Amino acid sequence: MARVHIGPGTVAGAEHDGVFRFLGMPYAAPPVGELRWAPPAPPAAWDGVRDATAFGPPAVQIADIGIDFGAPQSEDCLHLNVWSTTLDPEDRRPVMVWIHGGGFLGGASSMPEYSGADLARRGVTVVSFNYRLGAFGFLSHPDAGANAAVLDWVAALHWVAANISAFGGDPDNVTIFGQSAGAAAVRALLSAPAARGLFHRAIAQSAGFEDYAVPPSPSYDRITDASEEMFDRLGTRDLDELRRLPAQQVREASFALAGTPPAGQLHTPANLVWYPTTDGAVVADGFAGRPRDVPVLFGWTQHESRFFHRPAGQYARPDLDPAEIYTPEVLATMTRALAGSRADEVLARFGADGRAPYDALTELTTDAIWAEPAWETYQRFAGLGRTAYAYRFARVAPGARRSGLLAAHMSELPYLFGLPTGGDEYDEVDAAVSDTVRHAWTEFARTGVPRYGDGTAWPSCDAAAPRLTVIGDDARSAPVHLGPVAAAINSTREPNRDR
């Protein structure tokens, strides 16, 4: 057992294979009772030694998909975890704070694929944490405000600032990084006044980009409307009464209002409701207000939407036939929803190419929800003169090629946190790519500049000569290439583009 003294008291963690692990430490008081929908309060101090060898409870899962998180779900979820190879405050390692994804409806820092041990062996101190989900984290109420989960993230960063030196970390060199919903959280923190000075670099993986070109993006108005409907479902808008309701009742109402696509359409992240949005208080402004001294690393995967729109054989129910789901009619409906005034042109291109509806649909949704907004973000950062680096993750592991998932949403995560051993899902090329990814991410955390294995810096965002890093079988600098579908969608922005 290893003991560390932090602000609220002493914690005892474990050491395995050279990495110290401290789990389930409270960074705020339980957000229950009068603290439901309130800003996080400081955690209570404790006497003696607190066990820190087990993860804390995951937040109440709004969309519960049956994952075993190792602890019962609970509103009492504001706990964090630390991995480090040193407990010497003088070592001042770069700190990387991970924000988990899950559409703000599910997920937890205790998921095995988010272990910080392998990154810690790269000479950084890794932190992860849980936060309030769904309406628990994003309800808008006139007496409570909105974006309670954003304040959770800020509270976790305050904990890091106050305590991370005891785990060998440098509070003056903190990188926030997240994927999917976690990347949207990174964007919100870039625009949150209360977070200024608490982090110094930011990594956004597969989200957190500009608003979508055609479909409506998650917004404060959308949350406000859903909150009002939720009050109707719960039979009250009185805050005290709402705080006394059973958590399960709030969860069920939150799930019912989580975002259903319009008739004939398939789900995409554009349908999400419970989401960090600009409210003028907690999240005050957009990218233009991003701190100038915070470099950003951002990117997407080559075939993002195949995670959401699965190929044949990738459904929990074997009786589901993708050919019956991804029909020409669905493709036409989704193209009109995502390509707007250029829909006929995009559909004609798909027809001329002779592609199956599934292949066309996954290209369309990947371009509209990820690639095109990422390109718009590239231009935004370059135009503002802010230091930023972009990537496209295109490596297709052997298992992913067999399944048809290819480089889908989340496919880069095993390369960052640690490839599974054994089996035939990954090969020696994947091991080398994993080394490349971890090197770039930790170099960015250490210096603010991601680098290739030979020490060469990645190209930064440049409006005059746009380049990014393509992570395929190797990593290389390449010109930014916007495919014809993404370019058609991007052109719909032109008349109203506001830099």
pLDDT tens readout for residues 153-186: 999 999 999 999 999 999 999 999 999 999 999 9
User: Amino acid letter at 90?
Assistant: E
Going by C-alpha positions, the residue among 139, 162, 135, 144 that lies closest to residue 43 is: 162
Say what the pLDDT of residue 66 is.
Answer: 81
User: Amino acid letter at 282?
Assistant: V
Together in a domain, 310 and 393 = yes
Average pLDDT over every residue of 282-287: 83
Q: Strand, helix or coil at 296?
A: strand
Q: Bridge partners of 201?
A: 175
Together in a domain, 224 and 304 = no
Say what the pLDDT of residue 499 is.
Answer: 38
Say what the pLDDT of residue 263 is.
Answer: 86
d(CA 65, CA 101): 14
Together in a domain, 261 and 364 = no
Determine phi and psi for 414, rounding to 5 degrees: -60, -30
State pLDDT tens for residues 236-270: 999 999 999 999 999 999 999 999 898 889 999 99
- pLDDT above 60 for 59: yes
Q: Bridge partners of 392?
A: 300, 470
> Which tokens in the block code for residue 7?
């602000």
Element (H, E) at 4: strand 2-6
d(CA 325, CA 266): 9
Q: Say which residue the tokens 């980009």 belong to.
A: 209
Query: At what angle are helices 328-339 and 484-491 packed, to 10 degrees?
Result: 50
- Of 245, 274, 294, at which residue does a domain stop? 294
Together in a domain, 256 and 394 = no
Together in a domain, 286 and 305 = no
For residues 321 and 9, which has the higher predicted lDDT (pLDDT)? Answer: 9
Angular region, 41: left φ>0, alpha ψ -120 to 50, beta rest: beta
| CA distance readout (Å), 37 to 33, 61, 106, 334, 469 | 9, 16, 18, 36, 41
Average pLDDT over every residue of 139-145: 97
Average pLDDT over every residue of 274-284: 94
Average pLDDT over every residue of 188-214: 96
Average pLDDT, the chain: 95
Long-range contacts of 464-468 (CB under 8 A, 24+ apart): 466/378, 466/382, 468/299, 468/378, 468/389, 468/390, 468/391, 468/392
State pLDDT tens for residues 334-384: 999 999 999 999 999 999 988 899 999 999 999 999 999 999 999 999 998
Catalytic residue IDs:
180, 304, 409
- pLDDT above 60 for 496: no
Average pLDDT over every residue of 80-102: 98
Together in a domain, 248 and 376 = no
Average pLDDT over every residue of 211-219: 96
d(CA 253, CA 425): 39
d(CA 470, CA 497): 27
Say what the pLDDT of residue 206 is.
Answer: 98
Together in a domain, 287 and 306 = no
User: Amino acid letter at 366?
Assistant: T
d(CA 175, CA 180): 17
Going by C-alpha positions, the residue among 302, 218, 228 that lies closest to residue 478 is: 302
Domain that holds residue 345: 296-496
Together in a domain, 193 and 208 = yes
Say what the pLDDT of residue 288 is.
Answer: 64
Together in a domain, 318 and 431 = yes
> Which tokens in the block code for residue 339?
């390509």
Average pLDDT over every residue of 125-143: 98
Q: Say which residue the tokens 């404060």 belong to.
A: 220
- Of 294, 319, 354, at which residue does a domain stop? 294
- pLDDT above 60 for 497: no
- pLDDT above 60 for 216: yes
**Helix count and strand count (H, E) for the chain:** 16, 13
Longest dimension (CA), the chain: 71
- pLDDT above 80 for 129: yes
Together in a domain, 219 and 310 = no
- pLDDT above 80 for 111: yes
User: Amino acid letter at 234?
Assistant: L
Together in a domain, 216 and 342 = no
Judged on CB neighbours under 10 Å (0-12, 13-18, 19+), 45 is exposed
Output the domain CATH number for residue 199: 3.40.50.1820
Average pLDDT over every residue of 11-18: 97
Together in a domain, 129 and 247 = yes
- pLDDT above 70 for 308: yes
- pLDDT above 90 for 119: yes
Domain count, the chain: 2
Q: Confidence band (pLDDT; 50, 70, 90) for 422? A: confident
Q: Confidence band (pLDDT; 50, 70, 90) for 321? A: confident
Say if CB 264 and CB 333 are below 8 A apart: yes
- Of 245, 261, 294, at which residue does a domain stop? 294
